[in-house]
Chains A and B, each alone.
Chain A
Amino acid sequence: MERHFEKEFEELKTAINKMASIVDEQVENSFKDMADSTARLYKTVKHRDREVDAYDNLIMAKCENLLALYQPVASDLRFILTAIKIDSQLERCGDIAVNIVQRIKRTDNFRDIISETDLPEMAKIARTMVKDAITAFINRDCELANTIWVNDDIVDELNKKIFNQLVEKIKANPDLAEPCAHLIVLARQIERLADHATNISEDVIFLLENEIVSHKKKLEDFHLPE
C-alpha cells in the first residue's frame, strides 16, 4: 500500500509542478506578446492551453484517486487539498494568458494606447506575482509566499486607474471605443491574474504552515450564525 501511495503521490507532485511551469511560461509569453508587437505568440499560447487543461483533468483525477484509495492525513492530506486548489488557480491563469493574447490580437493596431496607460506597469507587477507564487509553491518557500499579497492591492489600484485612463480616451475619441473596451477587459484579466497568484500564495501558506489565511482580514469580526 505504502509504495503505491508514494508512487501516486510523487506522480501528482510531478504533474502539478509541470502544470505550474507551463502556466508560468504561458503567462510569460502572453505578456511578451503584449509588450512586443513582433513576438506574435498568440498561436503558441492558444495551442499550449490544451496542455494546461489536460493537466487540470489529470491532477483532479489523481487527487480523487489518492483521497478515495488512501485516505491521507496530515501533510499528505494538506498537499492534496492544496493541489486541488492550486490546480484550479493555475487553470484559470492559463485561460487568462489565452485571453490576454486574444485581446492583444484584437487591438494589434492600437498598441500605442497600451503604452499610454499604466497597463505595462500593471502587467509587470502581476507577472512577478505569478512567478513568485509558482516559485513559492515549487520551492515550498513560505517567506516568499508571504510577500505576494502586498502587491495585490497595488494591482487593484492600477486596474481602477487604467479603467479611468481608458474611459477618458473613449470620451476624447469615441472611435477608440472598441480597442479601449478590449483593453479595459484586458486590465481586468490582469487584475484577476494577480488575484490567482495571491490565492496560490495563500494555499502555499496553508500547505506549509497549516494556517488558513484566505479572507483573514475580511473575516476578522465575522462569525457564521450557529
Chain B
Amino acid sequence: MEIIEQVKTESASKNVSMNMEKVKISVQNLSAYFGKTQVLKDITLDIPEKKVIAIIGPSGCGKSTFLRSINRMHEVARGTITGKIIIDGEDVMKIDPVFLRRKIGMVFQKPNPFPTMSVFNNVVAGLKLNGFRNRKALKEIVEKTLKQAALWDEVKDMLNKSGANLSGGQQQRLCIARTIAINPEVILMDEPASALDPISTAKIEELIFELKKDYTIIIVTHNMQQAARVSDYTAFFYMGEIIEYADTKKMFTAPSKKQTEDYITGRFG
C-alpha cells in the first residue's frame, strides 16, 4: 500500500514535469485481470507524444499485459480491465478495436511476416485489408515505409519474393514497415529485438530513434541496456505494480527506489 501511495505521488510529480510535453496516452488506475487473477494493479502514468517509453521488469510483472491493454488485445485473450486508458482524450474502451489498432500498431517478439505473401504484399497487407487498392499509391507507400524501416536498400530488388526468405532482422523490420504502412500514431513493441543477433538489434534500435520523430513508441524489453539506449522514459513494473517511472537517464544512473536499483543492477528479478 505504501509503495502504491509513493508511486502515485511520484506519478503525479512526474506528470508535472511532463507538462511541457503533450500527453498522448494517459493511463489512469489501470488494473487488469485474467479471470480472478489480477495481473496489473492500479497503474497510473502519462505517456508523452513522440517519445520512447520503455517498460522493464521481471517475467510475469505485467509488462506485456500493460502493452496489450493499450490496444485492447488483452480482452482478445479473455482478460478484463478496470480503470481508464485515454488516447488523445478518448477512452480506448469506447473506440472500435479495429480503428484503435489502426491508430496503435504493434510489433511482436518473434518476427511474423505473412509467409505466403511477398515483401511488397506484406507491407501493404493492412492497407489492402482496409480496401486500399491504388497500385501506384501502394508502390509509393511500400518504398516510403521500407525506407522508414531502414530495409529498402536490402529488399528493393526482391519485393516480389516471399517475406519468409528474409533474415530474422530483416523480417522484423518488414513487420515494422507493415505496422507503419497504415500510418499509426503509436507503436507498441513487445521485445522486438530479443530474437535477433546484435547487428540486427542495433538496426532495430537505430530505427526506433528515427521512428520516434513521427510516432509515440512503447517498448517492452528484458534488455536493460536496450531500454537505457533507446528510451526517453522508463517504467519499472514489479508484480503488477509500477514501482518507478522516470526519465531514463535518471532511472539508470540514480533510481529513487531501492527495488529499481536492485533490479537494474541485477540483484533481483
> Contact residues of A with B, CB < 8 Å?
1-2, 5, 70-78, 210
Contact = CB atoms under 8 A, between A and B. Distances in A.
A207 to B, nearest CB: 11
B265 interface: yes
A2 B266 CA distance: 6
Contacts of B224: 71, 73
A73 B264 contact: yes
B100 interface: no
Nearest to A71: B225
A75 B225 contact: no
Nearest to B265: A76
B229 to A, nearest CB: 10
* Most chain A beta-carbon neighbours within 10 Å: one of B225, B228, B266: B266
A210 B266 contact: no
**Binding site secondary structure of chain B:** helix
Nearest to B262: A74
Contacts of A1: 266
A78 B261 CA distance: 12
Given A1-B266, A71-B224, A73-B264, 12 more contacts: A70-B266, A71-B225, A72-B265, A73-B224, A73-B228, A73-B253, A74-B254, A74-B261, A74-B264, A76-B265, A77-B253, A210-B254
Contact-size category for B = 10 to 19
Nearest to B252: A73
Contact of B252 (A2, A70, A74): A74
A76 B255 CA distance: 12
Contacts of A70: 266
Contacts of A73: 224, 228, 252-253, 264-265
Contacts of A5: 266
A9 to B, nearest CB: 10
Contacts of B225: 71
Interface in B178-203: none
8 smallest CB-CB distances across A and B, nearest first, come from: A210-B254, A73-B252, A76-B265, A2-B266, A73-B264, A71-B225, A74-B261, A74-B265
A76 B254 CA distance: 10
Contacts of B228: 73
11 contacts: A2-B266, A70-B266, A71-B224, A73-B228, A73-B252, A73-B253, A74-B253, A74-B255, A75-B254, A77-B253, A210-B254
B267 interface: yes
